[in-house]
A and B are shown apart, each in its own frame.
Chain A
Amino acid sequence: NAGVTQTPKFQVLKTGQSMTLQCAQDMNHEYMSWYRQDPGMGLRLIHYSVGAGITDQGEVPNGYNVSRSTTEDFPLRLLSAAPSQTSVYFCASSISRTGELFFGEGSRLTVL
């Protein structure tokens, strides 16, 4: 099993560009989530999903969009990138809403 796979690992964008961070898991987990990590801020929840077709907002959802068309995939879309979205993004999945979170290796995004 690959676990949770995130792509790309690194990305540089210009302000106003859009892009999608990909997240896939092969553990048949129902729960998936996206976090961003900034120095001194810990991990902040952006969006999460409790199953295919079901998504909801986390603590910092503005500027991000998600969809969950399959159990395996949970892409995160940046609609119009801003420098404030420079961060490390982690995707995580869990077998249930109370289970341990399995994290991907992260995607480092820089917005110029």
Chain B
Amino acid sequence: GQQVMQIPQYQHVQEGEDFTTYCNSSTTLSNIQWYKQRPGGHPVFLIQLVKSGEVKKQKRLTFQFGEAKKNSSLHITATQTTDVGTYFCAVGTSGTYKYIFGTGTRLKVLA
């Protein structure tokens, strides 16, 4: 079945440092979504990538979809304490109606 791995599982950074999380799939994806979950909260949608090699930016966040559509990354430049939370990728595959989530990367930002 569909397997989605996210690395790293945890990341502690000093405020101002950069952060990257990676999402890897065992199968070719039709699209990928990224979500952020604050401690004690629910996941909130950040962005969706559909095209091979696609790069999208939201202020300090940069999202990339791999050329083979099997992996993706989320990069945060100059982290802030407001970036604290768990970042999840969610993948969809052609012919299914399921969104499978990765295991998440928990980010802690030290002031």
Same assembly: yes
Tell me which residues across on chain A come within 8 A of B48, comparing CB atoms: 98, 100
- A48-103 CB contacts (< 8 Å) to partner B: 48, 50, 56, 58-59, 90, 92, 97-98, 100-103
Bound Cα distance A91, B31 (Å): 21
Task: Across the interface, name the chain B residue whose C-beta is closest to A50.
Answer: B97
Q: How many chain A residues touch the partner (CB < 8 A)?
A: 25
Say which residue of B1, B31, B35, B97 sits within 8 Å of A31 (CB atoms). B97
Tell me which residues across on chain B come within 8 A of A97, comparing CB atoms: 92, 97
Bound Cα distance A33, B33 (Å): 16
With A59-B1, A101-B90 in contact, is A45–B43 under 8 Å at CB?
Answer: no
Counted as pairs of residues, one from A and one from B, with CB atoms less than 8 Å apart, the total is: 56
Q: How many chain B residues touch the partner (CB < 8 A)?
A: 24
Asked if B103 contacts A45 (CB within 8 A), the reply is: no
Tell me which residues across on chain A come within 8 A of B30, comparing CB atoms: 98
Tell me which residues across on chain A come within 8 A of B98, comparing CB atoms: 45, 48, 58-59
Asked if B97 contacts A103 (CB within 8 A), the reply is: no
Say which residue of A31, A90, A102 sits within 8 Å of B45 (CB atoms). A102
- Quote the shortest CB–CB distance from A106 to chain B (angstroms): 6
Asked if B33 contacts A106 (CB within 8 A), the reply is: no
Tell me which residues across on chain A come within 8 A of B45, comparing CB atoms: 100-102
Contact with A along B35-78 (1 / 0, CB 8 A): 10000011111001000000000000000000000000000000
What 3 A-B pairs have minimum CB-CB distances, sorted nearest first?
Answer: A100-B45, A43-B101, A42-B103
- Identify 18 new A-B residue pairs, CB closer than 8 A, beyond the known A31-B97, A40-B9, A92-B43: A41-B103, A42-B6, A42-B88, A42-B103, A43-B88, A45-B98, A45-B99, A45-B100, A45-B101, A48-B97, A50-B97, A97-B92, A98-B30, A100-B33, A100-B45, A101-B43, A103-B42, A103-B43
